[in-house]
């Protein structure tokens, strides 16, 4: 299935700010279908403000009197639950739920249902759902914000359904330093370490090996080695004058 096949249903939302923030969370992840069941205030300035440019989702959001109405056209409903309820439903975490999305064909609509800020979903509402989604939280403070829960769910859906845009950034047009360049750099570094009196001429190997490892780990590019060699030359001028 595709991200646009996912329906986010918010039931009985009290704070219109949460509706706006949920719309924004959905849109950043590529979801689009928001459905509201008996929101206390909607439309509302606070919803629009928090949507912060995702207004299109609010404008297209359906508003319904019952959860059954809101679920029209979907083939599965996942109810979100802050508590781990008695085992009448299969429970998965958001990643596990998103993994189930992957298996469904394009065009099949699946709903994720979020309850009221304080009290969640009623047992009657949960009875409409096929499975539960549970987000693990700190037992000492489990008060996950409604829109944050939508964000986490949408984030996992995107991870499961969309190949991320190339995670590797474009490499700049700089070529890595060649092994010769690295060798000349190390020779130059050793000269400066000796002439500055930092390196004991009788036992130079240990420190040089350490610095070899350090700079090799950094995988310097051609320009960076030039910068370092420029610096070595500059300090060398001063050292020569004191000899």
Q: Which is nearer to its own copies, 127 or 227 (CB)?
A: 227
The CA-based angle 160-127-156, given to 5 degrees, is 15
Nearer to its own copies, 28 or 100 (CB): 28
CB of residue 216 to its own copies, shortest distance in Å: 8
H or E element, residue 6: strand 6-11
SS3 at position 61: coil
What is the smallest separation between the CB atom of 42 and its own copies, expressed in angstroms? 20
- List, as one string, the DSSP characters of 224-240: HHHHHHHHHHHHHHHHH
Count of CB atoms within 10 A of residue 148's CB?
15
Nearer to its own copies among residue 99 and residue 192 (C-beta) = 192
Query: Minimum distance between the CB of residue 122 and its own copies, rounded to whole angstroms?
Result: 18
In 3D space, the residue among 192, 29, 13 whose CA is nearest the CA of residue 101 turns out to be: 29
* Closer by beta carbon to its own copies, 87 or else 179: 87
Q: Give exposure, 9-30, as e/b (b: 16+ Cβ within 10 Å).
A: bbbbbebbbbbbbbbbbbbebe
Task: With residue 205 as reference, give the H or E element that holds it.
Answer: helix 205-218
Torsion region of 76: left, alpha or beta (phi above 0 gives left; psi -120 to 50 gives alpha): beta
Choose between 69 and 200: whose C-beta lies nearer to its own copies: 200
Of how many residues is the chain composed?
243
Q: Nearer Cβ to its own copies, position 65 or 124?
A: 124
Minimum CB separation of residue 178 from its own copies in Å reads 17
- The distance of closest approach from Cβ of residue 70 to its own copies in the complex, given in angstroms and rounded to an integer, is 23
Cβ at position 117, least distance to its own copies in Å: 10
């Amino acid at each position: 299935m595709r991200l646009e096949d996912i329906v986010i249903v918010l039931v009985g939302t009290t704070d219109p700010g949460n509706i706006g923030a949920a719309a924004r969370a959905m849109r950043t992840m590529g979801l689009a279908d928001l459905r509201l069941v008996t929101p206390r205030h909607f439309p509302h300035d606070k919803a629009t403000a928090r949507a912060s440019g995702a207004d299109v989702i609010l404008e297209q959001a359906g508003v319904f009197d019952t959860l059954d109405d809101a679920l029209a056209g979907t083939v599965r409903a996942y109810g979100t639950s802050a508590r781990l309820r008695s085992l009448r439903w299969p429970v998965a975490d958001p990643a596990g739920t998103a993994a189930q999305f992957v298996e469904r064909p394009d065009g099949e609509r699946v709903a994720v249902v979020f309850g009221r800020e304080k009290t969640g979903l009623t047992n009657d509402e949960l009875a409409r759902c096929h499975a539960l989604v549970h987000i693990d939280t700190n037992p000492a403070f489990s008060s996950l914000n409604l829109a944050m829960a939508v964000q986490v769910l949408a984030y996992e859906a995107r991870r499961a359904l969309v190949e991320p845009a190339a995670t590797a950034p474009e490499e700049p047009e700089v070529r890595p330093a060649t092994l010769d360049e690295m060798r000349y750099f190390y020779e130059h570094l050793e000269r400066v370490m000796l002439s500055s009196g930092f390196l004991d001429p009788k036992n130079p190997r240990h420190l040089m090996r350490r610095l070899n490892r350090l700079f090799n780990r950094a995988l310097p590019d051609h320009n960076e080695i030039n910068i370092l060699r420029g610096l070595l030359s500059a300090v060398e001028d001063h050292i020569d004058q004191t000899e």
